[in-house]
Amino acid sequence: MNRRKFLSRAGFGVISTAAAAQAVAQTPALPEVRWRCASSFPKSLDTIYGGGETIAKRVAAITGGKFQIRVFGAGEIVPAFGTVDAVQQGTVECTHTASYYFVGKNKTFAFDTTLPFGMNQRQQNAWIYYGGGLELVRAFFRDFNIISFPAGNTGCQMGGWFRKEVRTVKDLKGVKMRIAGLGGEAMARLGAVPQQIAGGDIYPRSSAAPSTRRNGSAPTTTRSSASTRSRRTITTPAGGKPIRCTRSSSTSRNGRSCRRSTRPRSRPPATKPTST
């Protein structure tokens, strides 16, 4: 979101419940504001895209409908990875995204979302809200004329959906992986070929590339993706992307690996209790 426009036109940031109630009582004096929000997520990913709509509804509620934000899916106004540029250029007023998509501009963008083998979602929230993280993040975004607000967290993210089970590091060599942020750089050093693909483009791209592995967010997000149907094995957690904070990650347990297969497994026959 454009920092200067937000401060000059909206006039408020994060407020308490009491302050929100007072703001509603004073809504007749508020100016009417209409913003467009460019999401980096497609509408088909209802959970993560819906986070932007939830924020828009809450902003409307605390301003008595005076501040309206209309959320657009990825590609409707600008491409999924063009939202930061769109905010800077004034094409849209705000965006709902994950800042690690933009590590190509500056690797510091990753700290606002997730780092390889970094904090889990509770630790990230603690750092943001109580450890001075939000102040550091906003100081960084100030150079881009943007102000950042936390707006969601996917929690545990899957390590990937594979056509073939990954048992050793050698199995990663040459595998095309949809993974963003610094986690992609880490996987590249292991021999994989990281690719940054927008959520709405995952299925077409992965269907055309048999060796592709796709990375998803939480199970509630990947369940709605058709690309998971062609992959029989899931690896979790994602050490390269412990969490994903949206605004502006997938959780690992200290980087320990864990493989789980979606293929049905045979079970031993049940034994009946015997009496003596």
Range of the domain at 176: 160-246
Angle at 109 between CA 104 and CA 113, to 5 degrees: 120
Please report the pLDDT score of residue 200 as a whole number: 66
CA–CA separation, 202 and 52 (whole Å)? 21
Domain boundary at 153, 181, 206, which? 153
Considering the domain architecture, whether residues 118 and 167 belong to the same structural domain is answered as: no
Same domain, 126 and 61: yes
Whole-structure pTM value: 0.68
Residue 265 lies in a domain: no
Q: Helices 133-141 and 121-130 sit at what angle, rounded to 10 degrees?
A: 80
**188 close to 121: Cβ distance less than 8 angstroms:** no
Number of domains, the chain:
2
Residues 174 and 146 in one domain: no
Judgement on whether residues 64 and 141 belong to the same structural domain of the protein:
yes
* Residue ranges in the chain whose pLDDT is less than 50: 6-17, 19, 210-211, 224-228, 230-231, 240, 248-276
**pLDDT value, residue 60:** 96
Is position 274 within any domain?
no
Quick: pLDDT tens for 125-140.
Answer: 999 999 999 999 999 9
Co-location of 175 and 127 in the same domain:
no
Tens-place pLDDT, residues 107-131: 999 999 888 888 888 899 999 999 9
pLDDT of residue 49: 92
| Residue 275 belongs to a domain | no
Q: How far apart are alpha carbons 39 and 53 in whole angstroms?
A: 10
Do 57 and 138 lie in one domain? The reply is yes
Peptide bond preceding 237: is omega within 30 degrees of 0, i.e. cis?
yes
Based on the domain organization, do 79 and 135 belong to the same domain? yes
Say whether both 142 and 89 belong to one domain: yes
**Beta-strand relationship, 245-247 and 259-261:** unpaired
Distance between CA atoms of residues 100 and 187, nearest Å: 15
The CATH number assigned to the domain holding 58 equals: 3.40.190.170
**Of 153, 186, 212, which one is at a domain's C-terminal end?**
153
130 shares its domain with 166 = no
Q: Which helix (H) or strand (E) holds 186?
A: helix 182-189
- CA–CA dist 124, 155 (Å, integer): 10
* Residue 119 and residue 20 in one domain: yes
Last residue within a domain, chosen from 110, 131, 153: 153
Please tell me the distance from the alpha carbon of residue 34 to that of residue 71, in angstroms, as a whole number: 11
Same-domain pairing of 147 and 183: no
Q: Are residues 143 and 195 in the same domain?
A: no
Query: Which pLDDT score is estimated for 75?
Result: 94
**Is 130 a member of any domain?**
yes
Three-class DSSP category at 164: coil
Supply the pLDDT for residue 257: 30
pLDDT score recorded for residue 175: 87
- Of 228, 275, 262, 273, the closest CA to residue 45 belongs to 228
Coil, helix or strand at residue 196: coil
